[in-house]
Amino acid sequence: MSCAADDDIDPENPLNKPDVPENVQAAIRTLIEWAGDDPSREGLLDTPKRVGRAWLEYCEGYKEDPAIHLSRVFEEVGGYEEIVLLKDIPFQSACEHHMAPITGKAHIAYLPDKKVVGISKLARVLHGFASRLQVQERLTAEVADCIWDNLEPQGVAVVIEAQHGCMTGRGVKTPGVAMTTSRMMGCFLEDPRSRKEVMSLMGY
Ligand SMILES: Nc1nc2c(ncn2[C@@H]2O[C@H](COP(=O)(O)OP(=O)(O)OP(=O)(O)O)[C@@H](O)[C@H]2O)c(=O)[nH]1
Ligand SMILES: [Zn+2]
């Protein structure tokens, strides 16, 4: 019986790559042809499989409920009663209108009550919701709601700044423009001083 850890699996080995169903490959060949190229030319032969696998990766957030990352909490934190902030978390998502990339950074803060979580888990929650077809407003709300529901903190603040490929590379073609969204909950919504403090920690 093999006891190889996941880390030992070579993703470059074709035997370890996920299968891309024929109907998915056919759809990608159709798109290539419709865009004006020849899906049977040599450079494009394996492209339908690669694109299929790439989309499995872009959308791997559908495989799990991001709340699982908040299930292991530390309840003994020595009376820590200040803001916890994870700042400038880079992320990538895909816009649900054009399936174009959304790239940006998120700031995620909470004021704990009884539950504190390992700090990497905040980024895992972000990536879990970002790795789906999204709009930025919903991504922001989903991350904040997930922390609020699972950590039952005194406050949650999530701010996301991102560029949308559907605005930079097509359509209105406006590179360099970032969209900012935020969701404040609990004390950050109700108490202007708390909100000011967290926004200032985030650099606003
Ligand atoms: N609010 C919001 N809008 C988004 C997001 N991502 C993309 N969009 C916008 O969604 C809109 C879709 O508009 P439509 O008019 O249906 O599509 P379209 O004809 O391709 O629009 P253009 O992008 O203006 O060419 C566009 O204005 C996009 O800029 C997002 O995360 N949030
Ligand atoms: Zn779009």
Q: From the CA of 160, how far away is ligand 1's center (Å)?
A: 17
How much is the ipTM here?
A: 0.95
- The reply to whether 8-58 and 72-201 are identical in fold is no
**CA–CA separation, 27 vs 58, rounded Å?**
18
At 83-126, the pLDDT tens digits run: 999 999 999 999 999 999 999 999 999 999 989 999 999 999 99
CATH classification (class only), 8-58: mainly alpha
Lookup: tokens for 165? 């490929």
179, containing H or E segment: strand 179-186
Question: What average pLDDT does the structure give for the chain?
Answer: 93
Domain ranges of the chain: 8-58, 72-201
Atom 30, ligand 1: residue with shortest CA distance: 135
Q: Which class is domain 72-201? A: alpha beta
Closest by Cα among 151, 154, 69, 71 to 115: 151
- Which residues fall within 8 angstroms of residue 13, CB to CB, at 6 or more apart? none
pLDDT in tens, the chain (204 residues): 344 455 567 767 766 788 999 999 999 999 999 999 999 999 999 999 999 999 999 999 999 999 999 999 987 666 678 999 999 999 999 999 999 999 999 999 999 998 999 999 999 999 999 999 999 999 999 999 999 999 999 999 999 999 999 999 999 999 999 999 999 999 999 999 999 999 999 999
Q: Which residues line ligand 1 (CB under 6 A)?
A: 95, 97, 135-137, 164, 166-167, 171-172
